[in-house]
């Protein structure tokens, strides 16, 4: 299969890295060559997190070059704009419809972006927006928001839901598994009509 490039971006504490890890392991379970990279410098303090996953018959590098991401997954709206340059011209964008105010803005070091919605619509006219936090709360725990997003991602990859779920069973602690599997299923169901 042709190499698929997926970039996941967010803010520290959102579960971006766990989601990218599950994606990478799912691709490996499917028998593909997989490479993954991540940057999470100030993630524990609410800073940007970026992880890139590449999979295909043969992948030589974990780095996705500018303008080459087939899928940009943003766990927060501002991060979608920050990493827009990585998306390929024909790429798809999935945006979690939540705003997290960066420390640099709340501390007064930078001004807030006041036209975020207009800029997102201009940059990503075909984006799929997902209210993952509301779905996670309905499921019973807002911390499983990332698995709602994983469910949405699963609709945009060549892997079956069962393969994703097998990976989750090996990666998520047993006491949290059912909740996360439900979150995954809900994210998959909510986005299926719009992205399939």
Q: CATH no. for residue 172?
A: 3.40.920.10
**How far is Cα 92 from Cα 128, in angstroms, rounded to an integer?**
8
Domain containing 72: what range?
Answer: 4-191
User: 176, exposed or middle or buried, with CB in 10 Å at 0-12, 13-18, 19+?
Assistant: middle
- Asked whether residue 22 is domain-assigned, the answer is yes
- Asked whether residue 187 is domain-assigned, the answer is yes
- The pLDDT score that the predictor gives to residue 194 is 44
Q: Give the predicted TM-score (pTM) of the model.
A: 0.92
Number of domains within the chain: 1
- Asked whether residue 196 is domain-assigned, the answer is no
- Asked whether residue 154 is domain-assigned, the answer is yes
* Bridge partners, 48 (sequence order): 11
User: Do residues 43 and 79 make contact, with C-beta atoms less than 8 angstroms apart?
Assistant: no
- What is the residue-level pLDDT of the chain in tens, covering all 196 positions? 899 999 999 988 899 999 999 999 999 999 999 999 988 655 455 678 899 999 999 999 999 999 999 999 999 999 999 999 999 999 999 999 998 876 666 677 767 788 999 999 999 999 999 999 999 999 999 999 999 999 999 999 999 999 999 999 999 999 999 999 999 999 999 987 544 3
């Amino acid at each position: 299969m042709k190499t698929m490039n997926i970039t996941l971006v967010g803010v520290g504490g959102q579960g971006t890295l766990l989601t990218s890890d599950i994606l990478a392991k799912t691709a490996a379970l499917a028998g593909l060559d997989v490479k993954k990279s991540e940057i999470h410098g100030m993630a524990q303090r609410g800073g940007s997190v970026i992880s890139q996953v590449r999979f295909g018959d043969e992948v030589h590098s974990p780095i996705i070059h500018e303008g080459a991401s087939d899928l940009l997954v943003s766990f927060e709206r501002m991060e979608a704009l920050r990493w827009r340059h990585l998306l390929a011209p024909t790429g798809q964008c999935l945006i979690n419809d939540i705003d997290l105010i960066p420390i640099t803005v709340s501390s007064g070091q930078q001004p807030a972006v006041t036209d975020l919605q207009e800029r997102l619509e201009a940059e990503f006219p075909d984006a799929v927006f997902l209210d993952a936090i509301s779905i996670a709360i309905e499921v019973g725990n807002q911390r499983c928001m990332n698995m709602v997003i994983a469910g949405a991602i699963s609709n945009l990859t060549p892997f079956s839901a069962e393969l994703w779920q097998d990976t989750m069973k090996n990666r998520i602690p047993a006491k949290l598994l059912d909740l996360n599997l439900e979150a995954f299923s809900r994210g998959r169901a909510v986005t299926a009509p719009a992205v399939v």
